[in-house]
Amino acid sequence: MTETTASDVGHTYRGETTSAKLLEIARYFLFIGIVGFGGPLVHIAMMEDDLVGEDSKGWTDESIFMEGLAICNMLPGPASTQLGIFMGWIYAGNLGALVAGFFFMLPTFLIVVFFSWLYFAYQELPAVEAMFYGINPVVIGLIVGAAWSMAQSALAEGRGHHEFDVGSETWSIDFLLVGLLAAAVVATATLGSNPVVQFVLAGVVAVAIYRSRWVRENLRRVTLWSVVAAVLGALFAFRDRLLDLLGPAVRRTVEASPLWGALLALWSNPWVQLFAFMVYTGSFIYGGGLVLIPFIELYVVREFGWMTGREFVDGIAIGQLSPGPVVMTTAFVGYKLILDVTGGLVWVAVVGALVATIGAFGPSFAFIMGFFPYFAKVRENDVVQTALTGVNAAVVGAILGATVTLAVESFVDVFTVVLALVTVGLFVRGLHAAYLIVGGGAVGMAWYFLVL
C-alpha cells in the first residue's frame, strides 16, 4: 500500500466543485460555527467525527485528514479555521475552501461585531465599566493559563534536560528553550521588539545548537544567507540613519520623489493601514490565535494608538465569548479604528471590521489554496522542524511579555490581581473560558458596586 504524501494531497485530492457540494459545505460549517464553543480542539474533533471515514459524510479518509491537521498546525494562523478551509478544499476545490471558511467564521464575526457595537456605544455606563472591571483581570488570567499549557508542550520539544512535577502534571524541559522563552518575555515586555524578529532569531539559535553538524556541513550556504539576512535587517533597522549618512540632498530627493509621496499618501489612509497591518499579522501569527496578542499590543496599542490596552483586553474577552477563533478580535480592532475615523458611523465601522477580518484571515486561505503542497514538503524537512522548536518557545515568551504590559493597565487594585490568579488556576484545571469571563463580569460588578 503506497503512503499518501501531502504533496499528493495538493495535486490529487483537491475536490471538484459542484453546487450540491458547496451547499453541503455551507450548511455544515454554518452549523459548526454556531455550536462549536470550546475552542480549536472541539472544532477539530467535530470535523474528524462528522467528515472523515465511511461512517461519516466521507469527505476524505483519516490519513489525509491527519496530514492536513499536521500542516495546519505548522502554518501561521488559527489551526481549526485553516483545517476547515482545508476540508472544503479537498472536498470541493477552491470554491469549497472559500465557502467553508466564510460560513465557519460568519457566526463569530456577527457576534463580535454585535458586541463591539454594544461595547463602544455603552462603555461609559457605570454598569458596563463595573462589568469589565472584573472581566479585564480574568482575560489576563486566561492568557497566562493558555500560555502555561503552551509552555508545557513547547519546552518538552527539545532534549529534555530536566523533569519535574507540578501538581499532577509532569514537565520535561530543555534549558535552551527556557532561555529562548525568557528572552522573548524580556524583549517583548521591556524593549517592544518585533515578534517576527524574535521568532526568526529563536529559530536560528535552535538550528545552530541542535543542528550544529548540519551547520558545519553547509557552512558556506549558511554563512551566505546569514550575511544577506544581517545586511537586509541592518538596512531596515537603520534606514533613517542611512538616509542621513547619504546627505540632506539625497534625503530631500527621495522624500520629494512622486513615488515617495504616493507611498506616504497611500499609507496615511486608515483603510490601507488597517488592511495591510492585518495581512501582516495574519501571515505571522504562528502557534495559534493567542500570538495575535504581542502583534496587536505592540502596533495597535503602542505605535499606532488605535486603542488603549484596556480596550484591547476587553476585545479579547469579546472574542473569547464567541464560538470561533480568538483571531476574530481583529474585527473588534477594525470596528474601533473606523468608528473613530468616521466620527461614530456604525455601518462604516462594520465595514472596517470586515476589512480587518479579510486581512487577518486572507493568508490562511492563501496558504491552503495556493501553497499547501509546498508547505507539505517543507514540513518534512528536519532543519525546519528544529527551527520551529525554537520558534514555539519564543511564541510563548512573546505572549507572556505582551501580557505583562497589558496587565499593568488591567490590574488596578489587589482584588483584580487575586481575580487573575484564581482564573489561572481554574482555567488550567479545565473550566471553560466563557464561564470564567461571565463569572468575572458578575463578580466584578458586585465588588465594584458593593465594596468600592
Q: Predicted confidence band at 420 (pLDDT cuts at 50, 70, 90)? A: very high
Quickly list H helices, 123-164.
126-155
For residues 278 and 305, state if they share a domain: yes
Of the candidates 132, 140, 155, the residue with the CA atom closest to the CA atom of residue 424? 140
| Gap between the terminal Cα atoms of the chain | 70
For residues 336 and 440, state if they share a domain: yes
Alpha-carbon span 71 to 82, nearest angstrom: 9
Q: How many domains does the chain have?
A: 2
For residues 153 and 296, state if they share a domain: yes
Mean pLDDT along residues 11-24: 82
For residues 200 and 345, state if they share a domain: yes
Cβ(420)–Cβ(144) below 8 Å: yes
For residues 187 and 323, state if they share a domain: yes
244 occurs within a structural domain: no
Other Cβ atoms closer than 10 A to 317: 27
Last residue of a domain, one of 57, 72, 105: 105
Going 176 to 178 to 180 to 186, the CA torsion angle's sign is negative
For residues 117 and 193, state if they share a domain: yes
Q: Which residue has the cell 477539530?
A: 44
Q: Residue 39: which domain range?
A: 6-105
Please say if the pLDDT value at position 7 is more than 60: no
Mean pLDDT along residues 398-412: 91
pLDDT at 4: 45
255 occurs within a structural domain: no
For residues 425 and 280, state if they share a domain: yes
For the chain, give the mean pLDDT: 86
Tens of pLDDT, residue by residue over 227-254, are: 777 777 666 666 666 666 666 666 666 6
32 occurs within a structural domain: yes
For residues 94 and 133, state if they share a domain: no
Q: For 76, which DSSP code?
A: B
Alpha-carbon span 436 to 432, nearest angstrom: 7
Tens of pLDDT, residue by residue over 90-132, are: 999 999 999 999 999 999 999 999 999 999 999 889 999 999 9
In the numeric block, which cell numbers belong to residue 285? 501569527
47-77 burial, b at 16+ Cβ within 10 Å, e below that, comes to: bbeebbeeeeeebbeeebbebbbebbbbbbb
Q: Predicted confidence band at 9 (pLDDT cuts at 50, 70, 90)? A: very low
For residues 132 and 93, state if they share a domain: no
- Which residues does 30 contact at the CB level (< 8 Å), separation at least 6? 103, 104, 106, 107
175 occurs within a structural domain: yes
For residues 389 and 428, state if they share a domain: yes
Q: Which of 196-210, 274-288, 367-381 has the lowest mean pLDDT?
A: 367-381
For residues 163 and 84, state if they share a domain: no
263 occurs within a structural domain: no
Greater confidence (39 vs 75) lies with 75
